[in-house]
């Protein structure tokens, strides 16, 4: 048996809330009819996670019996990998734990890092993509990046939104995948994972000095940037501030989706302005103002298992990759790295093509064909939608992937 812990039992709602898609969760929460297609899709996901999946009863009275949980999730029957991880090529899914473990074994530091920093250090993303991941915090920085890519003929003038779209999609996908791998290694007791709540603070200081030429004392304000770990007291104050802000009369109609995704919407802009203002006023237990600019999460990762347990786990879960790894370690890392980035680039473009195809079909069905481009005039996604309608979205995405991704020529 693969990593058996104990038999798990749960109702339809419990199982869907743990393993289902957002659409399936919405369905069961609203007690809508549980359709055959949804049930079959859920079973495929469960089969990728458990050796034994039994269902007793029908509809909302059904009970799931799950046993023989796999240490590493298997491919879903239709060729996708579960938990969103099919968005990274399968060959690298099998090899990725080895890459993480080897990197941690050779790492001398113990400083907690953000997920993006881990992705950069391990070689999953490039320096260009790492720097671009920070663009969402600054509109002016995004505009400068857009001007640079227009100059380098990566995008055309007016297509700056595509950069934001690309970075959010691809960074978000790799972040989720990386954390999924970490969770598996923690569960297998191969590594230890310690998350930290951190914050970037910009603290103002007043410097005073005597100017000999002016013959008088001069006061000058300077800003010192600090990175601090947040106590539970401060974390709770931030959470309470967010809750109160979202419950305020002005913002109570906003959904979390709007707050996170539609930052160009006037009311959402006002929300974030007020959020930043109140965040900057947060104080610690001693009543000292922290001047927080950005709260974030960092992760400390350490290998806890010996070499023999590590090899046994890898042999059990990644046998083919381990054989390749043991036969020629240097060749493994060089060829696997090249293969991964080539496969990932192809996959990113394939996903863009799929989005374009779906949107073109939707535009024909709902808006009457390609002539109705004006339908999107007031849409913040107008640039992407126009390119999709014209069949140019994939080419634009390919250029962005070539620029930000790892290329080997």
**DSSP secondary structure, 340-398, as one string:** HHHHHHHHHHHHHHHHHHHHHHHHHHHHSSTT-GGGGTT-TTHHHHHHHHHT-HHHHHH
Q: What is the dihedral of CA 358, 359, 364, 367, to 10 degrees?
A: 140
Q: How many DSSP H helices and E strands does the chain contain?
A: 16, 6
Strand pairing class (63-69; 8-11)? antiparallel
Measured over the CA atoms of residue 66, residue 72, residue 73 and residue 77, the dihedral's sign is: negative
On whether the CB atoms of residues 394 and 359 are closer than 8 A, the answer is no
d(CA 304, CA 188): 10
Neighbours of 341 (CB within 10 A): 20
d(CA 150, CA 222): 35
On whether the CB atoms of residues 336 and 102 are closer than 8 A, the answer is no
Written as tens digits, the pLDDT of the chain (409 aa) is 333 345 788 889 889 988 888 788 888 888 888 888 888 888 888 887 777 788 888 888 888 888 767 654 554 544 444 444 444 555 556 667 877 888 898 888 888 999 999 999 988 888 999 988 887 767 778 888 888 888 888 888 877 778 888 888 888 888 888 898 899 999 999 999 999 999 999 999 888 888 888 888 888 888 999 999 999 999 999 999 999 999 999 999 999 888 887 777 889 999 999 999 999 999 999 999 999 999 999 999 999 999 899 888 887 777 666 776 677 766 666 666 777 777 778 878 888 888 888 877 776 554 444 434 444 333 445 667 777 777 788 888 888 888 888 765 4
Residue 191 phi, psi dihedral angles, 5° rounding: -130, 165
Could you say which DSSP state residue 76 is in?
Answer: P
On whether the CB atoms of residues 114 and 297 are closer than 8 A, the answer is yes
**DSSP secondary structure, 257-305, as one string:** HHHHH-TTSHHHHHHHHHHHHHHHT-B-TTS-B--EEEEEEEEEEEE-S
Instruction: Give every CB contact of residue 267 below 8 A, 6+ residues apart in sequence.
Output: 250, 251, 254
Buried b or exposed e, range 12-21, using 16+ CB within 10 angstroms: beebbeebbe
How much is the pLDDT for 81?
41
Closest CA to 111 of 302, 319, 245, 362: 302
Q: Where are the chain's structural domains?
A: 8-69, 85-190+304-354, 196-299
Task: Locate 334 and state its tokens.
Answer: 């060089």
State how far the alpha carbon of 71 is from the alpha carbons of 3, 183, 206, 304, 402, in Å.
6, 10, 56, 17, 35
State how far the alpha carbon of 116 is from the alpha carbons of 181, 312, 384, in Å.
14, 29, 26
Closest CA to 99 of 3, 181, 170: 181
State how far the alpha carbon of 165 is from the alpha carbons of 30, 266, 386, in Å.
31, 19, 14
Closest CA to 381 of 164, 148, 149: 164
On whether the CB atoms of residues 98 and 318 are closer than 8 A, the answer is yes
Strands in 8-11's sheet, in edge-to-edge order, are 8-11, 63-69, 50-56
């Amino acid at each position: 048996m693969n990593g058996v812990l104990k038999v798990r039992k749960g109702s339809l709602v419990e199982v869907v809330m743990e393993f289902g898609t957002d659409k399936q969760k919405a369905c069961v929460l609203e007690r809508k009819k549980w359709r055959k297609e949804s049930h079959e899709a859920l079973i495929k996901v469960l089969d990728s996670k458990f050796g034994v999946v039994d269902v007793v009863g029908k509809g909302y009275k059904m009970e799931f019996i799950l046993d023989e949980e796999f240490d590493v999730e298997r491919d879903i029957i239709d060729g996708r990998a579960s938990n969103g991880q099919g968005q990274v090529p399968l060959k690298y899914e099998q090899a990725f734990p080895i890459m993480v473990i080897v990197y941690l074994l050779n790492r001398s530091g113990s400083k907690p890092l953000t997920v993006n920093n881990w992705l950069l250090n391990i070689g999953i993303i490039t320096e260009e993509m790492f720097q671009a991941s920070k663009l969402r915090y600054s509109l002016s920085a995004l505009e400068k990046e857009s001007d640079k890519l227009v100059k380098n003929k990566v995008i055309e003038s007016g297509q700056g939104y595509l950069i934001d779209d690309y970075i959010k999609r691809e960074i978000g996908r790799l972040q989720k995948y990386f954390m999924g791998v970490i969770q598996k290694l923690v569960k297998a007791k191969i590594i230890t994972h310690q998350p930290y709540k951190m914050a970037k603070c910009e603290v103002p200081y007043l410097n005073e000095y005597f100017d000999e030429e002016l013959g008088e004392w001069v006061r000058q304000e300077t800003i010192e940037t600090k990175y601090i770990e947040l106590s539970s007291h401060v974390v709770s104050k931030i959470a309470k501030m967010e809750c109160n802000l979202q419950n305020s009369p002005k913002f109570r109609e906003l959904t979390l989706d709007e707050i996170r995704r539609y930052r160009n919407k006037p009311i959402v802009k006002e929300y974030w302005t007020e959020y930043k203002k109140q965040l900057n006023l947060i104080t610690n237990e001693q009543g000292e103002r922290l001047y927080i600019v950005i709260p974030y999460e960092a992760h400390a990762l350490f290998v806890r298992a010996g070499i023999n347990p590590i090899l046994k786990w890898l042999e059990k879960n990644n046998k083919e990759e381990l054989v390749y790894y043991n036969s020629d370690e240097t060749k493994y890392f060089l060829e696997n790295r090249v293969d991964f980035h080539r496969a990932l680039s192809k996959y990113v473009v394939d996903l863009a093509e799929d989005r374009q195809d779906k949107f073109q079909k939707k535009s024909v069905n709902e808006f009457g064909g390609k002539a109705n481009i004006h339908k999107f005039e007031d849409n913040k996604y107008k640039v992407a939608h126009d390119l999709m309608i014209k069949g140019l979205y994939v080419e634009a995405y390919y250029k962005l992937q070539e620029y930000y991704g790892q290329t080997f020529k």
